[in-house]
Structure 1
Amino acid sequence: MSDSKAIHAPFHAREPVSSDSAAPPPRTPRRRSRILAKKPVKPGDAFGVPGHGSSLMTSFVTIVAMIGIWFAVTNLHLIKPLFLPSPQAVYAKFLVVATDGFANSTLAQHTGVSLLRVFGAFALACLTAIPVGVMMGVSRIARGAFDPPIEFYRPLPPLAYLPLIIIWFGIGEFSKVLLIYLAIFAPLAIAARAGVRSVSIEQIHAAYSMGASRTQVVFHVIMKSALPEIFTGMRIGIGVGWTTLVAAEMVASSSGLGFMVLNAAEFLASDVVIMGIIVIGFFALCFDALMRYVERVLVPWKGHV
C-alpha cells in the first residue's frame, strides 16, 4: 500500500533525489567551431577545392602592374617610341583618330565595320554550327557526313584557304564574312558535339522511362545538358573570329580595325597599331564577359551537378 501511495504521490511530495544522482550543472556555451557555424560553409573552405575563389583583385593588380611597367619603360626612354610608344602617345592618337579619323574613316566607322563582320559571321555560325554539332552527337550518319570535312579544315589557318575563297567569291564583303564564319564554325560545331556526347546516359534512360519521346529527349535533356560545352565553344569561336578579322581585312579593304592596324604598320605608326590592338581586345573582353553572364543565367547548375 505504501508503495502504491509513493507511486501516485505528486511530484513535489516525493522524496528529493540524492546528491549522488543529481544532474550535472549546465555547461557554459562554447564558441561554435567553423564546421558548426550558423552561416553555410562555402565550397572549398573546408577541404580547399583547387582554383576556388575570386581572382578579381589579382587581375586588377596585374593590369595596374602592366600599365605601370609600360609607363616606366617608355618614359625612362628604355625603348624607342618607334617600337613601343608611351601610353600618353597612344591616348593622344586615340583622340585624334576618334575625331579626325585614320585612312579616311573615323575610329567609330572602323569599329562599326569590324563589329558587323565579326558578329554577323558569329550569328550565322551559331545558327548552323550548333544544330550540326547536335546532329553529329545524336546521329552516327550525321557524324560520318560532317566529321571528315570539319576535322580536315579545322587545323588549317585561315590564311591557307583565303586565296581559294578570293578565287571563288571575289574580294567583296561576302568573302570576308565567309572567312570569319568558317573560322568560327569548326570549334563551335565540335564543342556542341562534345556537349551532346558528355550527357549522362542515366538522364536519358530516366527520361525514356517517364514516357519521353526521342524529340523530347533531344530538346529537353540532351540540349540542356550540352549548354555548358556550347557556351565554351561560343567563347572560343568568337576569339578565333577576332583573330581571323585581321586576315579577312587584308584584301581589298578600306575600313575596319584590322585594316587600320595593317595600314598603320606599313607606315610604322606603332601608336595606331597599339591603339587598334587595345580596341580589339576591349570589345573581345566585353563580349566574353557578356557570354559568361549569360551562361550563369541560363546554366545555373554548371559546376553543381
Structure 2
Amino acid sequence: GRDHLLGISAVSGRAQTFNSGGRVLKDVAGIGLTRAVAGSWGTLAVITRVTFKVKPKPEETATVVLIGLSNELAVEAMGAALAMPFDVTAGVHLETSLVKRLQQEDFQSVANPITALRLETFSKFLPRRIEFLKKALKTYGELYIVGNDASIAFWNELQQLSPMLGSDRQVWRISTLLNKGAHFINDIRRHMEVEVYFDWFGGLMWLLISEAVDAGAADIRRTLATYGGHATLIRATDKIRSQVSVFQPLDSSTEHITRNLKHAFDPDAVLNRARMYTYL
C-alpha cells in the first residue's frame, strides 16, 4: 500500500514530469506528495515509475483463531493483540454468514464467527510467539492454531474478498477508529441488514447490504458522522453509482485544499475527470 511507497516519477495534467520521494528508505522530501498522488485515482498525475519498500518473505506463517466472539469482543481482542510485542501482522473478524463462504477446509466446519490473527516470522521464533499470544488471549475463549500452508491460503483468500463474491449485494468500505467500528455496526443495523467483515484489527469494515435505492448511503454516512471516518461505495449498479457519491463527501476545508491541489496539477481537468468528485 501507500505506506510502502517511497517515491514516484509522474506526468501532471500540465504535461510536466516530476519526481517525488526517493529511492532509498530514509527521511526524504516529498513523501507526503507521493502518497497523495498514489491515492488520487489518477486525477492528479500519470505515474510512470514507482519505488516500493519491500520486506523479506517470512519463513513461516501461523494463524491464531478465536471462535464465537461478538463484534465488540473481537475488536477488543484484536486491539489487545496489536498492542503486544509479538509482531502480529494482521487481524480480521468475520461474522458467521461470511465464514460459511470461505473456501479453506480448516474453516468450513466452523458455525460461528471467527477472529483471526496472523503471525509471520522465522520458524524458530514462531512457536514461542504462538504460546505467548495464546496465553495472553485465553480469557477470550476457545482458540486454535492454523499452520503455514493453510494460513497462507486463508489470508490470500481474504485478500481477494472471497466471502463477498458470488453475490450482487451492494458493498461498502468503511474506515474508522479501531474502537468505534463495532458500535457503528450496531447503530447501522437499526436502519438496514448488513453482513460485515472487519479488517485492520477493526479499523476497516467491508459491508454487504441488501438492495437499497441509494445503496444505503444516507444512513451509512449519517451514522458514520457520529464516529468519524470514511465510507466508500465499492459495488453497486451503474445507476446507483451515478446518483450517489462513491467517495466520502468532503468538509469545506478539505474540499478547498482538494480543489487547489487539483488546479496545481491538472488545471484543465484532463485526467480522470469527475472520477472522484464532480469538481475533479
- Range class of TM-score, shorter chain: under 0.3
Question: Whose Rg is larger?
Answer: 1
TM-score (norm 1): 0.24
Larger proportion of strand:
2
